[in-house]
Amino acid sequence: MADEQATLQGRCACGEVRYRLAGRPFAVHCCHCRDCQRETGSAFVINGLIETPMVEVTSGTPETVLTPSASGKGQQIVRCPACKVALWSHYGGMGAKAAFVRVGTLEDPDSSPPQVHIFTRSKQPWFDLPMDASAFEVFYSRADLDALFGEAGAKRWRALRGD
């Protein structure tokens, strides 16, 4: 990833909602699950995981929409109220403690390439994973955290999960 001290900023398509990250995501997922495909209208979504208090809305007032999820717990998607672009989500075991920021909404999406591909069992057959990509048919285990995200990233992940 790029400079660890760089401030990342992002926005929706119309620019009504803008945000800034007070640090870098500790993990970047490329998720190929069917829910992400359906929600984005694409083959996958790239999410940068970061502690929610590190996401600062700098203009506008986003809305939160609850959508169904395979877990049955639902997913809270934070969207622009005008253009409806998804900016980040809260879901999974981390709940509202972590924001899964849509990397495509960053001003510099190239700064946050995926570190891991998840739910590859449902990836589109025409999409070839990079040969050196870390990939899991479903999800990685806690034992994989250090190798995937480094010691510092794994520590942040574990803190949010209460491990």
Any domain includes 150: yes
Q: What is the pLDDT of residue 5?
A: 55
Q: CB–CB of 8/112 below 8 Å? A: yes
pLDDT band at 70 (very low <50, low <70, confident <90, very high): confident
Tokens of 104: 């495509």
- Residue 29's Cβ-side half-sphere holds a number of Cα atoms within 13 Å equal to 24
> Based on the structure, what is the number of domains in the chain?
1
Q: What is the pLDDT of residues 14-66, one digit of tens each?
A: 999 999 999 999 999 999 999 899 989 999 999 999 999 999 999 999 999 99
Any domain includes 107: yes
- C-alpha angle 142-86-119 in degrees, rounded to nearest 5: 35
Which CATH number do you get for residue 105? 3.90.1590.10
Any domain includes 20: yes
| 10, 120, 67, 60 alpha-carbon torsion, rounded to 10° | 0
pTM score of the predicted model: 0.92
Residue 105 CA to residue 60 CA, distance in Å, equals 15
Any domain includes 1: no
- The boundaries of the domain holding residue 98 are 8-161
Q: Is the dihedral of CA 71, 74, 78, 81 positive or negative?
A: positive
Q: What is the pLDDT of residue 76?
A: 94
Residue 140 CA to residue 118 CA, distance in Å, equals 8
Q: What is the pLDDT of residues 92-121, one digit of tens each?
A: 778 899 999 999 999 999 999 999 999 999
Residue 69 CA to residue 88 CA, distance in Å, equals 15
Any domain includes 51: yes
Any domain includes 44: yes
Residue 96 CA to residue 76 CA, distance in Å, equals 8
Residue 93 CA to residue 66 CA, distance in Å, equals 16
> Using H for helix, E for strand and C for coil, what is the string for 33-72?
CHHHHHHHCCCCEEEEEEEHHHEEEEECCCEEEEECCCCC
Any domain includes 27: yes
